[in-house]
Structure 1
Amino acid sequence: MKNKVCRSLVKLSLSLAFLATPLMLCAQQLHFSKQQQEGTVSLNFAWQDMNDAAQQLNFSENSGAFFKPFRNFRAYNPLSAQQAVVKKTLKAWQADPIDGVSIKLTRDNGQLGIGLTATSENALQDASAHLKRLSGEAKEQYLAQRFYHIFTRHDGKQGVKPDHVKIAEQSAPLLKALKPIILETVELRNIRLVTDYTFNFIQSIPYSKLASRQTSAGAGFVPPMQLLYQNQGDCDSKVTLASALLRSLMPRIEMIMVFIDGHALMGINAPLQAGDKTISYEGITYVLGEPTGPAQYPLGKIALQSEQAIDAGLYTVEKFHVNETVDEE
Structure 2
Amino acid sequence: MAVRLIPLFGFALVVLSGTASAQQQAFARGEEQQLHYVWKHDTASTQAFTLILPAQTALPVWTAWHSAQAESAVFQQLIRNAQEQFPEVSFRVRKTADGTTIDYQAADQQRLQQAGSWLAQQQKALFNTYLEQHYYKRHGDDNSHLIRPDHVRIAADSSAELLELARTLQRVIVSSASAEQKQRYQNDERLLVVAGLLNFVQSIPYDPLVSADGQRGITFLMPEQVLVQNRGDCDSKSVLMMTLLTALYPDLPQAIVYVPDHALLAVALPRQTGNEEMIRINGKAFLPLEVAGPAEIPPGVTGEKSRLSIRNNQYQYDLLQLAEINSTPN
TM-score range, shorter chain: 0.7 to 0.9
- 1:282 Cα deviation after fit: 2.2
Relative to its length, the structure with more strand (as a share) is 1
Say if 1:75 and 1:217, in contact at 8 Å, map to a contact too: no
Does 2:155 correspond to 1:165?
no
Contact persistence 1:235–1:264 (CA under 8 A): yes
- What residue in structure 2 maps to residue 69 of structure 1? 59
The 3-state SS of whatever aligns with 1:280 is: strand
How far, CA to CA, are the matches of 2:309 and 2:98 in structure 1? 41
1:147 to 110, 135, 138: 135
TM-score by length of 2: 0.80
How far 1:194 moved relative to its partner?
A: 1.5
Matched, 1:25 2:24: no
Give 1:69's aligned amino acid.
L
> Residue 277 of structure 2 corresponds to which residue in structure 1?
277
**2:285 aligned with 1:301:** no
Q: Which residue of 2 aligns with 1:324?
A: 326
Query: Counterpart in 1 of 2:237?
Result: 238
2:184 match: none
Between the aligned partners of 1:115 and 1:91, the Cα distance in structure 2 is 14
* Cα drift, residue 278 of structure 1: 1.8
- 8 A Cα contact 1:192 1:299, kept in partner: no
- CA apart distance, 1:222: 0.8
Partner of 1:206: 205
User: Which SS does the other structure have where 2:56 is aligned?
Assistant: helix
2:251 aligned partner:
252
Corresponding residue for residue 52 of structure 2: 60
Q: Which amino acid aligns with 2:165?
A: L
Q: State the distance in 1 between where 2:134 and 2:228 align.
A: 21
Instruction: Give the letter aligned to residue 276 of structure 2.
Output: D
CA distance in 2 between partners of 1:177 and 1:318 (Å): 26
Aligned to 1:104: 92
After superposition, the Cα gap between the structure-2 partners of 1:140 and 1:128, relative to the gap in structure 1 and judged at 3 Å, is same
CA–CA separation in structure 1 for the residues paired with 2:198 and 2:65: 29
* Structure 1 residues 270 and 31: CA distance shift in structure 2, 3 A: same
The one-letter amino acid paired with 1:88 is Q
Judged with a 3 Å threshold, the aligned counterparts in structure 2 of structure 1 residues 288 and 210 are, in CA distance, closer, same or farther, namely: farther
User: Aligned partners of 1:151 and 1:216: how far apart in 2?
Assistant: 18
Q: Which moved more, 1:267-276 or 1:159-168?
A: 267-276
Between 1 and 2, higher relative CO (CA 8 Å, sep ≥ 6) is seen in 2
Offset, 1:102: 4.5
The question of whether the paired residues in 1 share the 8 Å contact of 2:53 and 2:224 is answered with no
Distance 1:4 1:121 in 2: 63
| Residue deviations 1:37-82 (CA, integer Å, cap 9, x gap) | xxx21111222323364244422234434xx6323x3112211211
TM-score scaled to structure 1, two decimals? 0.80
Amino acid at match of 2:157: Q
* Runs of 5+ consecutive residues of structure 2 not aligned to the other structure: 1-11, 176-186
Q: CA deviation at 1:275?
A: 1.9
CA pair 118-62 structure 1, distance change in 2 beyond 3 A: same
CA distance in 2, matches of 1:286, 1:145: 31
Q: Structure 1 residues 157, 145: CA separation in 2 closer, same or farther (over 3 Å shift)?
A: closer
Deviations 1:157-190 (A, max 9, x none): 6311111112111211121122432332329963
Q: Go from structure 1 to structure 2 and tell me whether the alpha carbon gap of 1:2 and 1:152 turns closer, same or farther (over 3 Å shift).
A: same
